[in-house]
């Protein structure tokens, strides 16, 4: 099985969007293109309101990803866990598809006897370890996030430490919203590790609206741009996951 490349958007936010299109719709749109959207809600002592909570869950659900609301202090562990969980989920989706072709409709891994399941899991784990991974990180920098940003930075460095221990290749890019001039601003172009983040993050200014939907839309187009460029160069063998999800 060709592991191909897994594509994820990781949205880190602390509340409700208040500008532009519905973020859940954008997440669903991303999913249609084989890009998983994961959402992490960060809270301080303050509790995220019901509406914010719902939005976070809804974005991840429609985006085919994983969501988790955490206190700032648990961010590092959560970021890596959510990313890994989403990877496994995607791969499991692919493997289940293959199983259905072999076993017939509506059969999934859980219908197999426990021993056989073990063999499937081995394949899933192997793929998770070796697959290429692209994570576009989208960080909410509206005013209320200001004092959480140092922890966000730590968590992202920690994420790159975790994922770079894998055998497969990783690429990360980082965007913030709202940007200085537009809804979203690129901080870091595709790079295998996030070390460079340390410098750019300290210069960040915060404030303004929370245009989560437009930010997601922009992020998506960034994946696309890169892909069309790449597919010109190589015969795109990266469609594997996208088709099967």
Partner 1 sequence: MMMNNSLRNQCKARPGTVIKGKWYKNEYKVIKELGFGANGIVYLAECQGREVALKVSDNSMSISSEMNILKSFTKVQGSALGPSLLSVDDWVNQGVTLPFYVMEYIKGESYLDFLKYKGTSWAIVLILQLLKNLSLLHQSGWVFGDLKPENLIISSPSCQVRCVDVGGTTLVGRSIKEFTEFFDRGYWGLGSRKAEPSYDLFAVAMIFLNSYYPNRFTKKSEGYSQLSQAIKGKKELKMYEPVLEKALLGKYSTADEMRKELMAAANLNMDSSRQKQAPSRTSYQTPTRKRKKGKTKGGLLESMLLVVLISIVYMVYIYTKLL
Contact residues toward partner 1 (CB under 8 A) are 74, 76-78, 81, 84, 88, 92, 109-110, 113-115, 117-118, 120-122, 124-125, 129, 158, 161-167
β-pairing, 5-13 vs 35-43, is: parallel
**Least separation in angstroms between CB 110 and partner 1:** 5
Query: Which residue, 84, 81, 82, 169, is CA-closest to 131?
Result: 169
Nearer to partner 1, 171 or 186 (CB): 171
Cα–Cα distance measured from residue 30 to residue 75, given in angstroms and rounded to the nearest whole number: 24
Q: Decide: helix, strand or coil at residue 188.
A: strand
**Least separation in angstroms between CB 130 and partner 1:** 9
Tokens describing residue 34: 């084989």
**Least separation in angstroms between CB 229 and partner 1:** 29
**Least separation in angstroms between CB 109 and partner 1:** 7
**Least separation in angstroms between CB 42 and partner 1:** 15
Nearer to partner 1, 21 or 158 (CB): 158
Query: Which residue, 182, 186, 173, is CA-closest to 214?
Result: 182
Nearer to partner 1, 19 or 84 (CB): 84
Nearer to partner 1, 141 or 160 (CB): 160
Query: Which residue, 191, 185, 200, is CA-closest to 172?
Result: 191
Nearer to partner 1, 38 or 142 (CB): 38
Please report, for residues 48, 215, 245, the alpha-carbon distance to residue 221 in angstroms, rounded to integers and kept in the order given: 29, 10, 20
Cα–Cα distance measured from residue 35 to residue 135, given in angstroms and rounded to the nearest whole number: 10
């Amino acid at each position: 099985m060709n592991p191909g490349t897994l594509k994820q958007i990781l949205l880190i936010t602390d509340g409700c969007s208040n500008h532009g299109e519905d973020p859940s719709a954008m997440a669903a749109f991303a999913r249609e293109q084989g890009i998983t959207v994961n959402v992490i809600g960060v809270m301080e002592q303050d509790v995220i309101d019901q509406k914010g909570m719902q939005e976070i869950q809804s974005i991840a659900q429609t985006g085919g990803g994983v969501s988790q609301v955490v206190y700032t202090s648990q961010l590092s562990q959560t970021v890596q866990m959510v990313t890994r969980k989403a990877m496994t989920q995607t791969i499991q989706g692919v493997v289940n598809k293959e199983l259905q072709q072999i076993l017939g409709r509506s059969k999934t891994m859980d219908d197999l006897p426990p021993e056989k399941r073990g063999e499937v899991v081995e394949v899933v784990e192997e793929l998770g370890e070796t697959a290429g991974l692209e994570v576009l990180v989208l960080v909410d920098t509206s005013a209320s996030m200001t004092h959480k940003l140092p922890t966000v930075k730590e968590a992202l460095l920690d994420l790159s430490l975790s994922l770079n221990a894998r055998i497969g290749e990783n690429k990360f890019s980082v965007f913030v919203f709202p940007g200085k001039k537009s809804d979203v601003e690129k901080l870091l172009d595709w790079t295998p590790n996030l070390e460079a983040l340390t410098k750019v993050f300290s210069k960040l200014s915060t404030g303004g609206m929370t245009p989560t939907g437009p930010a997601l839309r922009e992020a998506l187009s960034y994946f696309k741009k890169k892909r069309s460029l790449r597919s010109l160069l190589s015969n795109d063998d990266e469609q594997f996951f996208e088709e099967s999800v």
